[in-house]
Structure 1
């Protein structure tokens, strides 16, 4: 596990603290795919009781980041190319619809938030802070999706994103892909400023597809 997983602002509850710590540990590679989760060790490490850790494990299981095996416990979900391809197909359906609905709502305040998130991505890309880049990348994309989506749509999009965050970390650990993502964000921003729905969706699709191709290549090389 990495000590970096505990950095950042303090969460509002012990359970949320445990959820955020575990997510970051998975993304940063402190908890590798297939790792058995030692609940006592994690509770002691992050300074909470077993109860919030157990609740956090249920949350991450629901997101697909952890797998529960009866009488054996929780394990970090193995990364599989076939799963990623299926999830991305679902993301495309939902995100394209959300982006098209968002276009009429893209006022200057929204564009400003997108620009700030894109800058944060670029800064994190330069420093190689993958966890910070993932957080900024999420703010960037969700800044678009949330404009035109209701709570049920966003609940599904969040679930799909959470279940693939570890895959996304594979992509952002490659310097050339971090630069490519920055360039893609710039094109997405241009389409958003122009309120061009077709171009916005096309750029989002290309951004997602490039990440998918890279992730599948990595997973295939490792036999996943």
Structure 2
């Protein structure tokens, strides 16, 4: 599992959790793939205890599924699940964005701009994992100004549950270019402190992702595609 991380976060469980997230996000652990705990534990150099704890967290987020007599597998991509999550995000992130836009400092704006630069650099390289991480920093640098930690925790959980979908969306050059254009417009709205335009642009941004993923997960011919592991 070459995509698993080698740099350890502060705790073993966090290290395992972030490694599994990275493998799912990049498609190294593809939808429907079994998670062989002995192999993963050996690769990461950990016992099965933190691995089981990490898998339970991912199960709670809907990223993995436990099957009796089979163990854990990566959850299949589901259009219904995606649409539900993005609908909830629309409601919650609109509230957070409106509350945040007038509270962001110049330092906050620089963090948003820096994250966007990282998104564009990762997109140019075709580095889906780096782009996914930078994209999250971009959005939460904005939403984090809302001053509502409980709301942000809920939104983060929703994001965690759809990282695999996000990497599928980023897999094409056209979608990566669209993300860059939309991020620039979002950043401009933030700098203008225009809450209405920010909420509108974030909604368009989400809608485009769902529309593109709809064609991948449930195309008109009915032949759903699996998440690819390498960008086109």
Do they fold alike, i.e. is TM over 0.5? yes
C-alpha offsets along residues 67-99 of structure 1, whole Å, 9 cap, x if unaligned? Answer: 122343211011011111111100000000000
Question: Where does residue 223 of structure 1 map in the other structure?
Answer: 224
Question: Where does residue 229 of structure 2 map in the other structure?
Answer: none
Bigger helix fraction: 1
Residue 78 of structure 1 aligns to a residue whose secondary structure is: coil
Question: Where does residue 104 of structure 1 map in the other structure?
Answer: 102
Question: Where does residue 12 of structure 1 map in the other structure?
Answer: 10
Residue 75 of structure 1 aligns to a residue whose secondary structure is: strand
Instruction: Identify which of structures 1 and 2 has the higher relative contact order when contacts are C-alpha pairs closer than 8 Å and 6+ apart.
Output: 2
C-alpha offsets along residues 124-144 of structure 1, whole Å, 9 cap, x if unaligned? Answer: 000000000000000000111
C-alpha offsets along residues 174-209 of structure 1, whole Å, 9 cap, x if unaligned? Answer: 111101101101000000000000000111111111
Structure 1 gap segments, 5+ residues each = none
The count of corresponding residues between Structure 1 and Structure 2 is 222
Give distance in 2, aligned partners of 1:142 and 1:70. 37
Q: Please provide the CA RMSD for this pair.
A: 1.2
Give distance in 1, aligned partners of 2:8 and 2:120. 25
Question: Where does residue 148 of structure 2 map in the other structure?
Answer: 150
Please give the TM-score of this superposition, normalised by the length of structure 2: 0.92
Question: Where does residue 184 of structure 2 map in the other structure?
Answer: 186
2:100–2:146 Cα contact (<8 Å) kept: yes
Give distance in 1, aligned partners of 2:23 and 2:224. 23
Please give the TM-score of this superposition, normalised by the length of structure 1: 0.96
Residue 4 of structure 1 aligns to a residue whose secondary structure is: coil
Residue 193 of structure 2 aligns to a residue whose secondary structure is: coil
Which of 44, 49, 52 is the aligned partner of 1:51?
A: 49
Instruction: Find out whether 1:126 has 2:127 as its counterpart.
Output: no
Give distance in 2, aligned partners of 1:151 and 1:106. 15
